Structure 1
Amino acid sequence: MLLNKYRILVVDDEANNRKLLLQILQDNYAVAFAVNGKQAIEVAQKIKPDLILLDIMMPGMDGYEVCRKIKSDPEIHKTPIVFTTAMNEIEDETRGFEAGCVDYITKPISKSLVLARVATHLMLYNQHKECEAEVVQRTAMFQESQKSAIYMLGEAGHYNDDDT
């Protein structure tokens, strides 16, 4: 994996689909692959990708189940998942969103659409991480200021009452 590049995990059982997504993504992103659901979960746990492009129709564990399992794993549950699939019915999309995906791209895929959606979701993911870090930092600062105020009040109490 290259440094300073977002990590994208592509999960698809079809070699041609993986090759096409590699051609689309390789110039801008570090791309890893999985060919089935079990392998997708293992690779995701290992590399902690910034985004997952996930096919739905795969042998064994389908994409919906993979998505639910990833979303239940506390170490990778915040990773955005975008379904890339030939399933284009409203019910399929609804099921995907219910499983935890953030977007849905139907095949045949378009290079410009994939790049735009990937960039958008990575930007949102990055903003979310930055906001969480800011909340942690400000909470720590607030707790420190509360502690300081309590100590100051304790000191001030000593000046007003010599008997305690």
Structure 2
Amino acid sequence: MADKRKTIILVDDDMIHLTAGKDILKDTYNVFPVSSGERLFEILKKVRPDLILLDIEMPVMNGYAVIKQLRDNVKTADIPVIFLSAHIDPSHELEGLELGAVDYVFKPFSPLLLMRRIETHILLSSQKEELKRYREGLTNE
């Protein structure tokens, strides 16, 4: 099971960023490019991602509104979210982290840096799930 390809949903209203992100990730991960927060929630009915890359500045539903909704739903609350943003103001980064994002990557992103951060957070999430299963196994004995 360790060699199973992980799934990432990339949410960005900019087609250039969606295409660039998919091209960077497609050889390593199953990637679902999504152009809006509304579309993300449709996809989440069918797909359980290992991580979500989420743009902050989007029309209708911005990334902050999306992560609030993700965190309020027990089925999506523990999916790691990395914000992608052109905002370099630390207050934007802090707000994203306070809302539950695990990381924040500035656009335009470095492909190598993005990959390393994704790898780190998928590993952490996998280890957290493994510990949860282990604890549940102990309590069931």
Counterpart amino acid of residue 120 in structure 2: T
Counterpart amino acid of residue 20 in structure 2: L
Q: Is 1:88 matched up with 2:119?
A: no
**Could you tell me which residue of structure 1 aligns to residue 21 of structure 2?**
21
User: Cα RMSD between the aligned structures?
Assistant: 1.1
Q: CA deviation at 1:125?
A: 0.4
Q: CA deviation at 1:46?
A: 2.2
The structure with the greater share of residues assigned to helix is 1
Q: CA deviation at 1:45?
A: 3.4
- The secondary structure found in structure 1 opposite 2:10 is strand
Counterpart amino acid of residue 110 in structure 2: S
Q: 2-side partners of 1:94 and 1:12: how far apart?
A: 20
Q: CA deviation at 1:41?
A: 1.9
Mapping 1:147-158, distance limit 5 Å? none
Q: 2-side partners of 1:88 and 1:96: how far apart?
A: 12
Q: 1-side partners of 2:72 and 2:45: how far apart?
A: 12
CA contact (8 A) 1:9 1:44 kept: no
Q: Name stretches of at least 5 consecutive residues in structure 2 with no aligned partner.
A: none
Q: Name stretches of at least 5 consecutive residues in structure 1 with no aligned partner.
A: 142-164
**Could you tell me which residue of structure 2 aligns to residue 116 of structure 1?**
116
Q: 1-side partners of 2:99 and 2:46: how far apart?
A: 22
Mapping 1:71-110, distance limit 5 Å? 71-110=71-110
- The secondary structure found in structure 2 opposite 1:108 is coil
**Could you tell me which residue of structure 2 aligns to residue 132 of structure 1?**
132
Q: 2-side partners of 1:86 and 1:25: how far apart?
A: 20
Tell me the TM-score normalised to structure 1 length.
Answer: 0.82
Change (3 A) 1:12 1:84: same
Equivalent pairs counted in the alignment come to 139
Q: CA deviation at 1:4?
A: 1.7
The alignment-based identity, stated in percent, is 34
Mean Cα displacement is larger for which, 92-101 or 121-130? 92-101
Mean Cα displacement is larger for which, 42-51 or 22-31? 42-51
Q: Determine which structure has greater relative contact order: mean sequence separation of CA pairs < 8 Å that are 6+ residues apart, divided by chain length.
A: 2
CA contact (8 A) 2:6 2:50 kept: yes
Larger Rg: 1
Give deviations 1:22-79, integer Å, cap 9, x for gaps.
1110010000021111111221232010000000000001000101101111111100
Tell me the TM-score normalised to structure 2 length.
Answer: 0.95
